[in-house]
Chains A and B, each alone.
Chain A
Amino acid sequence: MNILEVQNVVKRYANHTALDDVSLEVPKGSIFGLLGPNGAGKTSLIRIINQITAPDEGRILLDGELLRQKHIEDIGYLPEERGLYKKMKVGEQLLYLAQLKGMTKAEATEKLKVWFIKFDIKDWWYKNVEDLSKGMQQKTQFIATIVHEPKLIILDEPFSGFDPINANLLKDEILELKKKGSTIIFSTHRMESVEELCDNIALINKSKVVLRGEKKEVKNRFKDNSYTVDYIGDFQSNSNDFQIIETKNLEDGLKRSHIRLSPEYSVNNLISNLISQVELKAFSENIPSFNEIFINVVGGEANEIL
């Protein structure tokens, strides 16, 4: 079951097309990574999902229903550019934002108290926002995003501006929200957090979705059947079975080679071949990181893989 379905969405501005026939599905209860370089169209898509702007073509389904005004309350949004009313008290401000998301005042007060205790910030309630540090403001804003317990949470670059400790806190919180059944979309170009958190991804480049799917499946798609071996000695490839891409010298006579197998040649065959020639120290399959995939795809070399 998908919480969100984006179907053939097109958004044009005066001189350029921000989204060109974009489709993607976000499964319920997952963490979805919306990736892409700056200016690719991520923010345009997020704004459409938030109903800040409307698409020129295509449609969007939230929980199976066509996106409508009432769905605003089902979505929590943390924009990349953080901002709060500086002269307002933290508590007042969060109450206001929660009420705008359709909560009653009593409900919001109760929920906010829980979060204030959880984040250990009880004494902030009557503080002015402008007196908070940047990190404290980030926490405040995160609470504003999730206090109304939305079905879908959209976080735009959530880790920017957080120190490592608070980033970890946020990560744990995201995982916990997922456990509770929320779906989280996060838009980022920090690939290590994608690696760690996401179940599914979509990569947008130049207004188009150029890559999408389950994290593991995408990675498998980008495997090039290559392996890394550490060994002592020397060996050669004397057939078409495999090919040595590069060899490096490590310390103590150890060498590391990058090998790509031909599709018919099995890993076991390779290992027995190697053992007969050198003293094998380590052997591993090369699984591409998202960083590599990102650079690969956005760099334009792998467009044909799709």
Chain B
Amino acid sequence: MNKILLIIQREYITRVKKKSFWIATILAPILITAIYAIPALLFLNNTNTKTVEVIDESGLFTNKFKDEKGVSFKFSRQPLEKAKKEFLNSKFDALVYIPGNIVDDAKGVRIFAEKNVNLSLQGNIEGTIQSELRNIKLTRAGIDVKVIEDNKIDVSANTFSLSEDGGEKSSSAGGTMILGAVLGFILYITVFLYGSQVMNGVIEEKSNRIIELMISSVKPYQLMMGKIVGIGMVGMTQFLLWIVLTFSISTVTSGVIASRFENQLKKEIKIGATKEEIKKTETEIKSQNPMAIVDKVFATTSIPKLILCFLFFYLGGYLLYSSLFAAVGSAVENSTEAQQFMFPVTIPIIISFFLAQYSIQEPDSQTAFWASIIPFTSPINMMVRLPFGVPAWELLLSMVLLVLGFMGTTWLAGRIYRIGILMYGKKMTWKEVSKWVFYKG
């Protein structure tokens, strides 16, 4: 037992000492934070207002373009040709031309700009013209303007998840989906990553020829399990550091972003505005904060439970697959030869990744259920389903089967490993390898 600890220690320390481990550990949380913080910051810093000159020959759109954050509109009466000539020297960022016959020919609108017109501005202008034209056409058809106004209903659905005790929490389907996808994907990557580290470790020992010396001191099974556990712990260490670092970096970053929003808020609330107006603007701005959706998702999902389940399914999935990777490593003599033998091991991982794409769309379907119960596909698929809420018995069944699953694969792998590591100079076939399982002693 003591010897297994020594092996685990060696496998762990030699890997944790590597520079590449620390680079990956520090870089990943920074990248994760950057993914949401950079758009948020860009959004905030985009303060320079664009002015747009509007030439409206139809006269229908006067005052219909409303100034909003980042864009202001100015109407002018000069002819298009003159405006186009003067445009480059003017302070305008864009020029919109609406022809006189716009109601009959909606395609006549033109937007000119020095650089490319950005999509949201174009969308904004098109949207305004479109809805105004609709109003005009409806009025012409004899429908009261008031009816039209009443029909502008703003629908924004709030989703709620019902818990068994009858309570309801507001949830975010989109956010839950993203969380599930991220967890599943991390699991997929790490099982692959650490599994192949185990395989390469075994190949290294075999091609180094230290293997014979090692197994004259320890049992092959001890060596294999020591390696698997050691590398698995490296993965756990990395996750824990990732979690801690991501949380602390995120807290700092979202603090900064939040205070910027606060400033924005103050700017936008004009002096003399009524209390109601202030409140409205506040909620409006708060809903724009990208952190809000994250908060919403975490409010419906228990984070400690999620982290514990993640670590469990990581360990289970890792143990299940890495022992198979170890068996592959023992049967070959170099990494190139390993490629062909890796195939049967990687196929179930890839299949479960594809199943996960389905599970995320239909987390309560039959397929998703079975995918998250069967040990080979369960780690990734259960993680994908988990943020949506999974009944306790399903989770428990999946966990028990996973434990049985990895006990099975490590047993099988151990049988292959003890023979494989001493085989040299022989081209391996699956038929040959399957015979090793039944060799004795």
Contact = CB atoms under 8 A, between A and B. Distances in A.
Interface stretch (A17-25, A80-88, A253-261): A80-88
B118 interface: no
A100 B212 contact: no
Interface string A71-102: 01001010101111111100000001101110
A177 interface: no
Given A14-B435, A96-B6, A144 B212 contact: no
Main secondary structure of the interface of A (DSSP, over half): loop
B10 interface: yes
B103 interface: no
B217 A100 contact: yes
B209 interface: yes
A86 B205 CA distance: 10
Contacts of B435: 14
Contacts of B211: 83
B130 interface: no
B329 to A, nearest CB: 15
B143 interface: no
Contacts of B422: 47, 52-53
Interface string A88-131: 10000000110111000000000000000000000000000000
Contacts of B71: none
Given A83-B208, A83-B209, A88 B14 contact: yes
B40 interface: no
Given A53-B441, A96-B10, A100-B6, A77 B209 contact: no
A77 B441 contact: no
Contacts of A99: 6
Contacts of B214: 100
Contact of B213 (A47, A83, A87): A83
A182 interface: no
A52 B213 contact: no
Contact of A50 (B3, B210, B216): B216
B218 A100 contact: yes
Nearest to B214: A100
B291 interface: no
B215 interface: yes
B225 to A, nearest CB: 15
Given A52-B216, A52-B422, A54-B441, A79 B209 contact: yes
A56 interface: yes
Contacts of A52: 212, 215-216, 422
Interface residues of A, number: 28
Nearest to B17: A87
A96 B210 CA distance: 13
Interface in B1-46: 3, 6-7, 10, 14
Given A83-B208, A87-B14, A75 B216 contact: yes
Contacts of B440: 54
Contacts of B218: 100
A53 B419 CA distance: 9
Nearest to A72: B217
A273 B217 CA distance: 64
A84 B212 CA distance: 10
Contacts of B210: 83-85
Contacts of B441: 53-56
A83 B212 contact: yes
A168 to B, nearest CB: 24
A235 B212 CA distance: 61
A155 to B, nearest CB: 13
Nearest to A86: B208
17 contacts: A52-B212, A54-B441, A72-B216, A72-B217, A77-B216, A79-B213, A79-B216, A81-B209, A83-B209, A83-B212, A84-B208, A85-B204, A85-B205, A86-B208, A87-B14, A88-B14, A100-B6
Interface of A: 14, 47, 50-56, 72, 75, 77, 79, 81-88, 96-97, 99-101, 141, 144
